Amino acid sequence: MKQNIKKVVCTQGEMIQRISWQMAVHEMLSLRTVEIWRSLFMNKRNKFLGLAVVFMVSMSLLMSGFHTLAAWLGWDLVDSGKHLDWDSDTAYLSSVQSATNTWNNYKSGVIRPDSILVVQDVFVTDYTEVSSNLGYTDKNNAMICFNTYQFTGMTSAQRQKTATHEFGHALGLDHTTGTDDVMRQGLSSTIALSSTDKASYDYAYNQY
């Protein structure tokens, strides 16, 4: 997909940072588990107690959602006022509006339509290329581009997902791998933000 290839090209040479509070918790609890094993198993009478504690710690890691990783690109198109003001000539305006509503429903007022009172941060447009590429976000030219060759045959949900995905890049989010993630690469009908999408946005927002 062009959205993936172009983005990787645009970010070449930049450090992609992946952060997760769950990773920190995991490390802390893992170290604590080692201490528990060392102290408790020195005394054979406490063997079963030690096993029980280790089991509970392990279960707490699984229940904490440790798999959820926030993904930050290391760049974004958000301005110094923490806004992403957009303009467009795209034929898929309804998809763009639905996408911006999705992000704004989580963090209100960040993404705004361009007006005479603000400076445009990103321009949304279309292009045609006979390929499997759905679209891409161009960091250097501050553009989001949709491939009409693909968009014409996509469902409304698939268009919205792609638009939401590309606005995610403009907000500073990198790709993730969860099956329910908007920021997962590929064609899908996922239009709601997952916990991973939200964690990535939370981190990116703090970098603006």
pLDDT in tens, 11-38: 333 333 444 444 443 444 444 444 544 5
Residues 34 and 78 in one domain: no
pLDDT of residue 107: 98
State CA 58 to chain mean position distance: 27
pLDDT at 207 over 60: yes
pLDDT in tens, 168-185: 999 999 999 999 999 999
**Helix or strand run (H / E) with residue 153:** none
pLDDT at 41 over 90: no
The total of structural domains in the chain comes to 2
Determine contact, residues 155/189, Cβ cutoff 8 Å: yes
- Which of the four pLDDT bands, split at 50, 70 and 90, describes residue 40? very low
Q: Which residues are CB-contacts of 96 (< 8 A; sequence separation ≥ 6)?
A: 86, 88, 90, 124, 163, 167
Residues 25 and 8 in one domain: no
Residues 63 and 91 in one domain: no
pLDDT at 121 over 80: yes
The domain in which residue 161 lies consists of 2-13+74-207
pLDDT of residue 56: 55
Residues 118 and 191 in one domain: yes
pLDDT at 64 over 70: no
Residues 189 and 140 in one domain: yes
pLDDT of residue 117: 84
Residues 78 and 63 in one domain: no
- What six digits make up the tokens of 47? 């063997």
Residues 143 and 52 in one domain: no
pLDDT at 60 over 90: no
